Amino acid sequence: MSTANRPAAEFDGRHITVSADDGVPIAVREFGTPEAPVTVVFVHGHCLRTESWAFMRTHLLERWGDDTHMVFYDHRGHGDSGAADPATYTIDQLAHDLDAVLRTVVPVGPIVLVGHSMGAMTVLAYARLFPQAIGTRVVGVGLISAAANGVTRVGLGRLLSGPAVSSLQLAIRRAPRAMQASKHFSRRIFEPIMRDATLGTRKVSPRVLAVATAMVNETPLLTMASFLHSLIRFDETATLHQLGAIPALVLAGSADIMIPFAHSVVLASQLDDAELVRLDGAGHSVILERAEEVATAIVTLVDRAVASRSGRGPEECGPELAIAG
């Protein structure tokens, strides 16, 4: 069914609330039939929410209709999910939340996990914590704007380990309400910084910029700051072998200054069956900027995963697919 003929309610998905293992409510939206041959689960990035996939999801609905089950959810402390003890704002906890979502919403059948930025880190942590699922339940992974380690060594990530960030974290823990109020006053300063940091070199539509800015500005500062410690210490290099030979997509923008494309090159080189996709001129918010091209790459990943599981073997692909701007 084309998007033009779909009931309006289908664009919002079916809303579900999943209880994390510690009781935090996780807001989930699913599209397509749960009885579909494969489920694709999308894991968003730091300070974002389910809406970060909205443009790309439209293209996937046009391609797949109801034939593929898609699951989107908000991390704890983000979007419509519940807040939690800041001590639980870690990548490992997010991996446990992902497991809770899978157990509740996708109890059976093959799964492809697709993560963007911190969401991709969550997927890697999940592979370490639940290795028995890789190659059995999880038959493919998409790692978008991602790194396995070293996010503070190059790009804007270097700022995370500076004294200013440590001071910000301390101030937010001591006076979260005051700091959240000050965030609203600084919005005019914050928006152009966010645009330069997350969007690439091509002209971005006002709609894309408005969506990206709204998602970041709606994220509580306590959430934003509390995850930084886990991001700074993140290192899943030793986990990559857990992914074995399942099909993988590693995709990023060439103009990403948050997690530079070099991270993706290194990441793909350490996976047995990875397709590396570079979107020229795109920034860290590649899933917003270049939604259609990202959707195309995800369709290819799912096709490879389904073919590999059925025994036909993945299609041959080169070491890198570059898509010009």
Confidence of residue 150 (pLDDT cuts 50, 70, 90): confident
What CATH number does the domain containing 204 carry? 3.40.50.1820
DSSP alpha helices (H): ranges in the chain?
A: 54-64, 91-105, 118-129, 163-174, 176-185, 187-198, 206-218, 221-226, 228-233, 261-269, 286-289, 291-310
Q: How far apart are CA 169 and CA 147, in angstroms?
A: 23
Q: How far apart are CA 285 and CA 16, in angstroms?
A: 26
What per-residue confidence (pLDDT) applies to 245? 86
**pLDDT(163) > 90:** no
- Strand, coil or helix: what is 279? strand
The per-residue DSSP string of 30-43 comes to: EES-TTSS-EEEEE
Q: Are 61 and 31 in contact (CB under 8 A)?
A: yes
What per-residue confidence (pLDDT) applies to 309? 84
- HSE at residue 42, side-chain half, CA atoms within 13 A, is 27
What per-residue confidence (pLDDT) applies to 226? 86
Confidence of residue 169 (pLDDT cuts 50, 70, 90): low
- Strand, coil or helix: what is 295? helix
Q: Are strands 25-31 and 69-73 parallel, antiparallel or unpaired?
A: antiparallel
Number of domains in the chain: 1
pLDDT digits (tens, 9 = 90+) for 19-64: 999 999 999 999 999 999 999 999 999 989 999 999 999 999 999 9
pLDDT digits (tens, 9 = 90+) for 177-202: 554 544 454 444 444 545 555 555 56
**pLDDT(254) > 90:** yes
Confidence of residue 117 (pLDDT cuts 50, 70, 90): very high
What per-residue confidence (pLDDT) applies to 193? 46
3 vs 43, higher pLDDT: 43
Domain span including residue 148: 3-323
Q: What is the pTM of this model?
A: 0.82
Confidence of residue 257 (pLDDT cuts 50, 70, 90): confident
Confidence of residue 106 (pLDDT cuts 50, 70, 90): very high
Sheet-wide strand order for 138-144: 14-19, 25-31, 69-73, 39-43, 111-116, 138-144, 248-253, 274-279, 320-323
What per-residue confidence (pLDDT) applies to 8? 41
Q: How far apart are CA 161 and CA 229, in angstroms?
A: 9
